[in-house]
């Protein structure tokens, strides 16, 4: 059983919980995931099974989220999972007052990750330090947000804004909610989060646990092919003799110059055989095997 699975993660499950549940459903131990989702969050959780776990590092990093931001509330975790630090009535807040600030969150931006996050500092996860009440100097990080779309606005004492956020890996949507609230002077926190895109997998093609269980019972459960999510990588086709040499760990000379570091690699029968890495020596540009799927490997 080798391939990928596009899981629609339910609320109140950690990513680790999902992996543990799938190990029981699929009766296999070698399972990993392609990016943590907080327990509050739902949506796309890419799952790698068997040999696919060796490909997680090569998957595309672009992500997209539908986020609900609640204004007037500040919490310890920057979402509704944490303790409330402050509450401020935001009856007078309007979408027109917020919209000009959204452009500040598009492009290459710097953000402080939430104090309650899985980022490690001195070998310990930040949330472990935060739970002990330790004062944490959270390091800033640079992230990329390519676009933000307004989906809905709901008036009230604690009004809510629904956004569709398109971003690169490592972006914390909780931080955007917190920082947007700070900019308007009333505070804000993340109320709901649904990931719609991750590792090249989209929400409309995802499957729930129930669907997976039913498909397994009906003997119609299938996985996404190993190479399918790797469309972000260019591909290269090897001749029969080149395929043999490549499988033996030898380098293959590239005729055309390239700047790409990794390639989806196929043999003379157009079968996916793994990932090649670009290397350069006195002979010129060559590729060498990085991940090999053959001879039972």
Domain that holds residue 264: 233-292
27, 217 in Cβ contact below 8 A?
Answer: no
The confidence score (pLDDT) of residue 122 equals: 53
The confidence score (pLDDT) of residue 220 equals: 92
The confidence score (pLDDT) of residue 6 equals: 97
Q: 84 and 188 in one domain?
A: yes
160 contacts: CB under 8 Å, gap ≥ 6: 68, 69, 70, 71, 152, 153, 154, 191
Q: Is the pTM of this model over 0.85?
A: yes
CA of residue 261 relative to chain centroid, distance: 21
The confidence score (pLDDT) of residue 296 equals: 38
142 contacts: CB under 8 Å, gap ≥ 6: 108, 109, 110
Domain-embedded: residue 222: no
Domain-embedded: residue 174: yes
CATH code (residue 34) = 3.30.70
Q: In whole angstroms, what is the distance from residue 115 CA to residue 93 CA? A: 27
Q: 24 and 68 in one domain?
A: no
Q: In whole angstroms, what is the distance from residue 101 CA to residue 105 CA? A: 8
The confidence score (pLDDT) of residue 133 equals: 52
pLDDT per residue over 89-131, tens digit each? 999 999 999 999 999 999 999 999 887 655 555 555 455 544 5
Q: 244 and 208 in one domain?
A: no
CATH code (residue 168) = 3.30.2350.10
CATH code (residue 249) = 2.30.130.10
Q: 249 and 124 in one domain?
A: no
Which of 2, 17, 38, 83 is flagged as catalytic?
Answer: 38
The confidence score (pLDDT) of residue 164 equals: 98
For the chain, list residues with pLDDT below 70.
Answer: 116-137, 295-297
The confidence score (pLDDT) of residue 229 equals: 94
Q: 247 and 211 in one domain?
A: no
Q: 284 and 193 in one domain?
A: no
Burial 18-30, CB ≥16 within 10 A → b, else e: bbebbeeebeeee
Q: 145 and 34 in one domain?
A: no
Q: 172 and 106 in one domain?
A: yes
**HSE (side-chain half, CA atoms, 13 Å) at 65:** 25
**Helix ranges restricted to H, the chain:** 15-26, 95-102, 126-131, 173-184, 209-217, 240-247
Give the chain's domain count. Answer: 3
Q: Tell me, yes or no, if 38 is annotated catalytic.
A: yes
Domain-embedded: residue 269: yes
Q: In whole angstroms, what is the distance from residue 96 CA to residue 256 CA? A: 53
Cα angle: 240, vertex 237, 284; to 5 degrees: 95
Task: Give the β-pairing of 235-237 and 252-253.
Answer: unpaired
């Amino acid at each position: 059983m080798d391939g990928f699975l596009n899981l629609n993660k339910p609320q109140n499950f950690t990513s680790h919980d999902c992996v543990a549940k799938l190990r029981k459903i699929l009766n296999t131990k070698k399972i990993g995931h392609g990016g943590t989702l907080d327990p509050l969050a739902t949506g796309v959780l890419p799952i790698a099974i068997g040999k696919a776990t060796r490909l997680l590092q090569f998957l595309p990093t672009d992500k997209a989220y539908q986020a609900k931001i609640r204004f007037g509330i500040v919490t310890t975790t920057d979402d509704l999972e944490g303790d409330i630090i402050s509450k401020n009535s935001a009856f007078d807040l309007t979408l027109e007052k917020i919209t000009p600030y959204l452009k500040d969150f598009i492009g290459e931006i710097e953000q402080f990750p939430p104090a309650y996050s899985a980022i490690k500092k001195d070998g310990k996860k930040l949330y472990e330090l935060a739970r002990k009440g330790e004062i944490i100097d959270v390091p800033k990080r640079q992230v990329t947000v390519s676009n933000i779309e307004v989906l809905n606005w709901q008036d009230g004492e604690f009004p809510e804004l629904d956004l569709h956020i398109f971003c690169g890996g490592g972006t914390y949507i909780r931080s955007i909610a917190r920082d947007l609230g700070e900019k308007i002077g009333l505070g804000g926190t993340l109320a709901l989060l649904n990931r719609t895109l991750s590792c090249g997998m989209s929400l409309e093609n995802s499957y729930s646990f129930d669907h997976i269980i039913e498909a397994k019972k009906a003997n119609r459960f299938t996985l996404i092919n190993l190479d399918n999510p790797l469309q972000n990588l260019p591909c290269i086709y090897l001749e029969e003799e080149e395929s043999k040499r490549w499988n033996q760990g030898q380098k293959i000379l590239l005729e055309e110059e390239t700047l790409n570091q990794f390639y989806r690699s196929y043999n003379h029968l157009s079968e996916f055989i793994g990932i090649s890495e670009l290397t350069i020596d006195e002979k010129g540009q060559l590729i060498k095997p990085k991940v090999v799927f053959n001879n039972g490997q």
